[in-house]
Amino acid sequence: MKTVIEPFRIKMTEPITLISREQRIEALAKAHHNVFLLDAEDCCIDLLTDSGTGAMSAQQWAALMLGDESYAGSRSWKKFESTIKEITSIKHVFPTHQGRAAENILAQTRLRPGDVIPNNSHFDTTRANIEFVGAIALDLICAEGLDTGLIAPFKGNMDVEKLEQCIAEHGREKIPFGMITVTNNTGGGQPVSMANIRAVKAVLQKHDIPLVIDACRFAENAYFIHENEPEFQDKTLLEIAQEMFSYADAATMSCKKDGLANIGGFLICNNDKWAEEFKNLLILREGFPTYGGLAGRDLEVIAVGLKEALDYDYQVYRHATVTYLGDRLEKMGVPYVKPVGGHAVFLDSRAFLPHLAPLQYPGIGLVNALYVEGGVRSVELGSVMFGKRDADGNEVPAPLDLVRLAFPRRVYTQSHFDFLVEIISEVWQNRDKIPGHKITYQPEFLRHFTCHFQPMK
C-alpha cells in the first residue's frame, strides 16, 4: 500500500517556533507546572484538544465571505438549516454557540431532579449539565470499552443489557431520554457500531423513551462503521450518517469537532413540543432562532464543514495520522490505549511510569516531560481530572491515568508527527527520571484547568 498523503496542499502558513529547552523549563515553572497555564505561543506542537483547533478549507474561507449578517431569516441560516436537514432529516434545527449550550438547553427544558440519563459515556460538559439540574448521568459502556489493551472494533458501544436493567430499575418515568455519544470521546474516542445504535434504539423505543445522539464526531464514527461493519462497505459516509440520525429523536452537536469550524454547535429534534421549549430558552440564552449565538459567517462555514467531514478521502487521511502514531508507539513498546481512537492517541501513563504511585500523578509527569523535551502540549486524563474523595476526605485515584494526544483537524503534517515520535521516544528512554508531582493549589471545581503543581525531587 502506498503512503496515505494529506488530501490538501497548504496555501497559508502559520509560524510555530520551538523555544529553547531552558525557556521551556522556565515557561513551565511560571505556569506552575500546569500546561493549561502556558502561553500557546510557547507550545510548538499543540495537542491539547481537537476542539475548534482545525484548519478551514479554501471553500470554508470563501463561504465566510458570503455570510449574511441579517438578524432574522438570513441566507446563511437557510444554508445551515438545509445542510443539517440533509444529513439528519430531523425537523427542528437550532444553532448554538457551541455543544455545551445545546446540552444546557436540553437539560434545562427536559430534566427534573432525580431523572436518570443513560449514555455509553457522558462527556464531561454533558454530565455537568445533567447534574447541574439535579439529574443523574449514568455511563453504561460495554465491558470491552474498559479494557485498554483489548483490540476490538467498537469499544465505544453501550451495554444494551445494562440499559434494559437501568430502565427496569428506574422506570420509564424517570428517564426522559437516553443518549449515545458517537464517537465515545470520554471512552478513548472509540466508535459505536450501527448494530449497537439500532439495538439501543429498539430497547428505548419499546419503553417509549426518546434517543438523543451526542453527534460531535458523527463523521468519524460513520467512517469506522464503513470500515468495520461489512454491511456498510458500499455506502457513502453521508448515507451512513443519515441512517445513524434516522434512529435519533434529537441530537446535540459541537461543530468545533466534525463541523470543521472554530466555533459553533446545534440542537435538533423532531418533537414539536420539545422544539417550542428549546426555542423559548434559546432566545433567552443564545439568540434569535435563526442565528443562535453565531455570526452568519459561522453558519456558512459550518454548512460547508459538515459536508467536508463526510468526505471519504479526508477521513482516510485523518485516520491514517492517528494509526501512524499508534504503529510507531507499538514498535517502541510504549504503552497506549488500543486500538487508537478517531481523534486522539491515549498514552497509558501509569504503565509508562511504574515508579510513580497514582497519587503522584504520573499523567502530569508525562505531560510535563513531553513539553520540556519538545514543546509538545498534551493533557492528563487521570487522577487530577477525575480524582475523587472518599467519605473521610482522602483522595481516591481515577481508574486509569492517561495522557491524551488529540489531533487538530488538517493542521499538522507527517513531519510534525515524526518529530512527535522522536520526542516520545526520548521521554520513553529517560522515563525513570520523571518525577511525581504534588498539588500546591487547587480550586473547588474542575481543578485540572487551574491548579498548581510542584515536582517532587
Among 76, 120, 126, 290, binds ligand PLP (CB under 6 A): 126
Residue whose CB is nearest to ligand PLP in the complex, by number: 99
Please report how close the Cβ of residue 334 comes to ligand PLP at its closest, in angstroms. Answer: 25
What is the spatial distance between Cα 418 and Cα 324, in angstroms, rounded to a whole number?
9
From the list 10-18, 121-129, 325-333, 371-379, the region that binds ligand PLP by CB under 6 A is: 121-129
| Residue 286 interacts with ligand PLP (CB under 6 A): yes or no | no
Nearer to ligand PLP, 186 or 360 (CB): 186
From the list 67-75, 119-127, 145-153, 314-322, the region that binds ligand PLP by CB under 6 A is: 119-127
What is the spatial distance between Cα 219 and Cα 204, in angstroms, rounded to a whole number?
24
| Residue 99 interacts with ligand PLP (CB under 6 A): yes or no | yes
Please report how close the Cβ of residue 59 comes to ligand PLP at its closest, in angstroms. Answer: 22
| Residue 121 interacts with ligand PLP (CB under 6 A): yes or no | no
| Residue 256 interacts with ligand PLP (CB under 6 A): yes or no | yes
What is the spatial distance between Cα 310 and Cα 218, in angstroms, rounded to a whole number?
9
From the list 96-104, 200-208, 402-410, 414-422, the region that binds ligand PLP by CB under 6 A is: 96-104
Angle at 53 between CA 47 and CA 57, to 5 degrees: 130
Nearer to ligand PLP, 217 or 328 (CB): 217
| Residue 129 interacts with ligand PLP (CB under 6 A): yes or no | no
| Residue 98 interacts with ligand PLP (CB under 6 A): yes or no | yes
Nearer to ligand PLP, 344 or 420 (CB): 344
From the list 76-84, 97-105, 155-163, 278-286, the region that binds ligand PLP by CB under 6 A is: 97-105
Please report how close the Cβ of residue 256 comes to ligand PLP at its closest, in angstroms. Answer: 5
| Residue 214 interacts with ligand PLP (CB under 6 A): yes or no | yes
- Binding-site size, ligand PLP (CB under 6 A): 15
| Residue 221 interacts with ligand PLP (CB under 6 A): yes or no | no
| Residue 51 interacts with ligand PLP (CB under 6 A): yes or no | yes
| Residue 216 interacts with ligand PLP (CB under 6 A): yes or no | yes
From the list 77-85, 95-103, 333-341, 373-381, the region that binds ligand PLP by CB under 6 A is: 95-103
Among 57, 181, 221, 262, binds ligand PLP (CB under 6 A): 181
| Residue 96 interacts with ligand PLP (CB under 6 A): yes or no | no
Name the site residues for ligand PLP (rule: CB under 6 A): 51, 98-100, 123, 125-126, 181, 185, 214, 216, 254, 256-257, 265
